[in-house]
Amino acid sequence: MSISLEIFGDRWSLLIVRDLMVRGFRTFYDFEHSGEGIATNILADRLRRLKRAGIVETEPDPEDGRRVNYRLTRKGIDLAPVLLELLIWGAEHEKTGAPCEVIAEMAKNREAVLKETRRRWEQRDPTPLLPWLSGREVPD
Amino acid sequence: MSISLEIFGDRWSLLIVRDLMVRGFRTFYDFEHSGEGIATNILADRLRRLKRAGIVETEPDPEDGRRVNYRLTRKGIDLAPVLLELLIWGAEHEKTGAPCEVIAEMAKNREAVLKETRRRWEQRDPTPLLPWLSGREVPD
DNA sequence: TTGAACACTTGCAAAACACAAGTAGACTTT
DNA sequence: AAAGTCTACTTGTGTTTTGCAAGTGTTCAA
């Protein structure tokens, strides 16, 4: 577990994983303009580290040679349960900006949420997860 | 979730929570001499932050006035599912030093493990969790 | 009452981070 | 085909955070 924290022990890495997982982010541009405010040098560094850790992989966009597509690996998508529990915890104990009933719903259907998350990953379905649940904004 | 990461977005905070939760740590001294190598100024700072975040609370030791006992709050113990999932993920995807079969056992009995963890917290039972499962060392 | 245990704090160097700007290659427009 | 734009970065530069060593103050134990 301390090994895990050597990878995630910073403010951005897990957030990047979450954005790839549930918000449908794919490119450097997506992250840079998401409003989360990560500096581009840090972003580049974190993506590099996540790649080296085998959590993220890259492929050039077949339709636009300027773009690089980032994607979670199997190891990366396997973090879904961790993220989900953290989301549930945050909704319960912090003011999250996310509608609590939606999260409560997720907490009741953990397996269904995880299954859908994996399905999206397998099928490269980039649509954000939360609208599927609620038609609402992603939690902050 | 990004709010959660403002608390846990560093190398030590979650580790401290874990040590309180499953290793039976209670004092500053425990952390300082655990071999994890956290600097004392950082340790003091993290404990302070976790306290301010309502995850940890302190009480003077009734038997030894030098000691301060740190203890998880309800909010803190509610992080157990997050820690458990992270532990399972690490065992599956990283070389953890923890015996994998034990973790696999935990993965199969998540609810039982969480229940026992909560029980220990409620009853202030400081014995480490893993020996209960396996008679072995805590994962690194 | 001397020494050790415990929970810190302080000072300083090194590393990580944030911000602004710049670069390079790939598309798009004229 | 030249000029501008988009995307993915890198490169300074200053600030903040961290790590290390040492020190402080209180409490206990002999």
Which tens digits make up the pLDDT trace of A124-134? 998 988 766 54
Extended beta strands in chain A, E state: 56-60, 68-72
Q: Which tens digit of pLDDT belongs to each residue from A63-122? A: 999 999 999 999 999 999 999 999 999 999 998 767 788 899 999 999 999 999 999 999
Distance CA A92, CA A104 (A): 9
In sequence order, the β-bridge partners of residue A60 are A68
pLDDT for the residue numbered A135: 42
pLDDT score, position B96: 76
Q: How many CA atoms lie within 13 A of B64 on its CB side?
A: 6
- pTM beyond cutoff 0.95: no
The strand D neighbours among B residues 5-24, by Cβ under 7 Å, are 10-12
Q: In the numeric block, which tokens belong to residue A52?
A: 């080296």
**Contact assignment for A82 to B78 by CB distance below 8 Å:** no
- Amino acid in the structure at residue B96: T
Instruction: Kindly give the parts of chain B with pLDDT less than 70.
Output: 97, 131-140
- Does B82 contact A86 at a Cβ distance shorter than 8 Å? yes
Query: Would you state the pLDDT for residue B133?
Result: 53
pLDDT over 70 at A138, yes or no? no
Q: Using the 8-state DSSP alphabet, how is residue A127 labeled?
A: S
Contact at CB, B82 and A85, closer than 8 angstroms: yes
Q: Is the CB of A66 under 7 A from strand D?
A: yes
- Residue B138, pLDDT score: 42
Residues 6+ apart with CB under 8 A from B91: B98, B100, B103, B104, B139
Quote the minimal CA–CA distance from A88 to chain B in Å.
Answer: 9
Residues of chain A with Cβ-Cβ distance to B54 below 8 Å are 93
Q: What is the CA radius of gyration of chain B?
A: 15
Q: Estimate to the nearest angstrom the gap between the alpha carbon of A75 and the chain centroid.
A: 13
Q: Which class for A36: exposed (0-12), middle (13-18), buried (19 or more C-beta within 10 A)?
A: middle
Question: What per-residue confidence (pLDDT) applies to A129?
Answer: 86
**For residue A32, what are the contacts with CB-CB under 8 A and spacing of at least 6?**
A38, A40, A43
| CA gap A119, A107 in Å, rounded | 19
Angle at B72 between CA B66 and CA B73, to 5 degrees: 120
How high is the pLDDT of residue B137? 42
What nucleotide is nearest B40 when CA is compared to C1'? Answer: C8
The two tokens of residue B100 are: 């994998």
Stretch A33-43: mean pLDDT, rounded?
97
Best of A1, A73, A94, A106 to substitute, by most chain B Cβ atoms within 10 angstroms, is A1
For residue B136, the model assigns a pLDDT of 38
